[in-house]
Chains A and B, each alone.
Chain A
Amino acid sequence: MNTFESAIGYSWFILTGAVATVELTLLSCLLALILAMLAGIALTSDQIAVRAVTRIYVEIFRGTSVFVQLFAAYFVLPFVGVSLSPLQSGVLALGLNGGAYGAEVVRAALNAVGRDQREATIALNLTRWQALWWVILPQAVVFMLPSFGNLAIELMKGTAVASLITVSELTFQAQVVRGQTGDTAMPFLLILVIYLLIASALISFVRWLERRFGRGIVSANT
């Protein structure tokens, strides 16, 4: 009886970690999305300097693992005068990492929009930004969404690593419970199920977005 009650007690404690996991996932997805859009557009720029700087950002963050980046954000940045809370470091590292992967997706999607569309915007005398905003992006978004969905899942999985820089999310809470009670199977099974639920929710959301943005566009892969 006692063990059952304590199991309920620490399940609740672990569930509080889900809030931090969701928060971390959403904030870093948001940061990644903004960075991916900016960097992706910059990668298709005419100016070589813009392209080069963006390329360096993308290669650095794709070339090292999110694990190393999290540790750099949390342990190394304070030494150069930037002190961030664990959550802030987590959002920064995960966002920068996701943004680098996302930039490639955005670049590929922008390039996948037909050349005739670009020529039409020139013929209609639209400015570069008008063309991008009203013609190219709305079509490119449909190409981006499936990959963005996968990246969101990768980011969500990356949040588990943030437990190692003391963000009290699911994995961290499970480790605390393991340390306090010595019980291992229950906490880890519980968080596996919660991660699975969060991932499935994310996937359903992206599928819904795909349908929403896919409306009115003739699909090329039917």
Chain B
Amino acid sequence: MIWSWEFVAEITPDLLKGLVVTVKITLISSVAALSIGLFFAIAKMSSVDLVRRSAVLVTETIRRTPLLVQLYFLFYVLPDIGIVLSPMIAGTIGLGLHYGTYVSEVYRAGIINVPAGQWEAARACNLTTRQTWTEIVLPQAIPPMIPPLGNYVIAMFKETPILSAITVLDLMGEALAKANFSYRYLEPITLVAVGFLFVSLCSAALIRLLENYLKRQAA
């Protein structure tokens, strides 16, 4: 089979439509992951033993099972108990939940890496809890978190093709629809791969710039 530019031209508009969906899903599920991650991070650092243990149990379970199975769960099993989600919503929740568990580790590591002396100094200076967090801990904890968080956003972007398995028409979904219809796989899948490669290389470069900028700020 040889590469056909005509076919490429024919499918490009629909693939671009899929790309828009992909980007939209990435953005929404990033916000979801960042919030869910915060929730898990706080729970994992809770002083209540039961809360901490159950948070660890839940996050480890999510991290050790495949995203695809979790998506099937949200999409096929939840309707049995009366919760019917659209493919888009199920996909966004699945991605957000899965990556939320990874993100919670980033938050936790960031906060734990603030030296104990800083907490003690804040206490010695008689700062309130609120002041300790907003003036001392978070300004030191957040910059080192940004590169890993950025990497997880890229990872989520790269994972979105999996959503086509629960019938979301993202970039991969559109490509597979075209491929199944015409039985030409070469062009759609190559275009998807090139598209993803392009976007992830660009965003990786952006994150590296950001990282260097933050390093200069810290120095």
A195 near B69 with CB under 8 A, answer: yes
Of the stretches A30-38, A65-73, A84-92, the one at the interface is A65-73
In contact, A163 and B68 (Cβ under 8 angstroms): yes
Distance A191 CA – B77 CA, assembled complex (angstroms): 13
Residues of B within 8 A of A203 (CB): 64
Contact B1 A65 (CB under 8 A): no
A50 CB-CB contact with B under 8 Å: no
Q: A-facing mask of B13-24, CB < 8 A → 1, else 0?
A: 000000000000
- For A192, list chain B residues within 8 Å (CB): 65, 69, 73
Interface of B is mostly: helix
The answer to whether B189 touches A71, judged by C-beta atoms less than 8 angstroms apart, is yes
Give, as a whole number of angstroms, the nearest-CB distance from A164 to chain B. 6
Indicate if the CB atoms of B1 and A157 lie closer than 8 Å. Answer: no
Chain B residues lying within 8 Å of A161, measured Cβ to Cβ, are 66, 68, 162, 165
* Size bracket of the A interface: 35 or more
Tell me which of A65, A75, A203 has the highest count of chain B C-beta atoms within 10 A of its own C-beta. A65
Contact mask for chain A residues 13-45; partner B; CB cutoff 8 A; 1 contact, 0 none: 000000000000000000000000000000000
Contact A184 B197 (CB under 8 A): no
CA distance A175 to B66 in the complex (A): 14
B206 within 8 A of A: no
Q: Which residues of A contact B159 (CB under 8 A)?
A: 65, 67
A156, B160: Cα distance in complex, Å: 18
The residue that B61 contacts in the complex, of A59, A153, A196, with Cβ under 8 A, is A196
**CB–CB A65/B197 < 8 A:** no
Chain A proximity of B9: nearest CB distance (Å):
19
Q: Are B66 and A63 in contact (CB under 8 A)?
A: no
> Is there a chain B Cβ closer than 8 Å to A158's Cβ?
yes
Of chain B, the residue at the smallest CB distance from A157 is: B66
**B72 sits at the interface (CB 8 A):** yes
A171 partner residues in chain B, CB cutoff 8 A: 66, 68-69, 72
Is A200 engaged at the interface, CB distance under 8 Å to the other chain?
yes
Q: Say whether A64 contacts B65, CB under 8 Å.
A: no
Within 8 Å of chain B (Cβ to Cβ): is A168? no
A58 to B160 Cα, complex, angstroms = 20
Query: A160 and B68 in contact (CB under 8 A), knowing A65-B159, A68-B172?
Result: yes
| Contact call B66/A160, Cβ cutoff below 8 A | yes
Indicate if the CB atoms of B77 and A185 lie closer than 8 Å: yes
Q: B residues within 8 A CB of A158?
A: 66
In the complex, what's the smallest C-beta–C-beta distance from A73 to chain B, in angstroms?
Answer: 10
Which residues from chain B contact A76 at a C-beta distance below 8 Å?
Answer: 185-186, 189-190
B196 contacts chain A at the CB level, 8 A cutoff: yes
- In the assembled complex, B147 has its CB within 8 A of some CB on chain A: no
B→A interface (CB under 8 Å): 1, 61, 63-69, 72-73, 76-77, 79-80, 158-162, 165, 172, 176, 179, 185-186, 189-190, 192-193, 196-197, 200-201, 204
By a beta-carbon cutoff of 8 Å, the part of chain A in contact with chain B is 59-60, 62-65, 67-69, 71-72, 75-76, 79-80, 153, 156-161, 163-164, 171, 174-175, 178, 184-185, 188-189, 191-192, 195-196, 199-200, 203
For this complex, 17 residue pairs linking A to B, each with C-beta atoms less than 8 Å apart, are: A59-B197, A59-B201, A64-B158, A65-B159, A67-B159, A67-B161, A71-B176, A76-B185, A76-B189, A79-B1, A160-B67, A161-B162, A184-B76, A192-B65, A192-B69, A195-B66, A199-B64
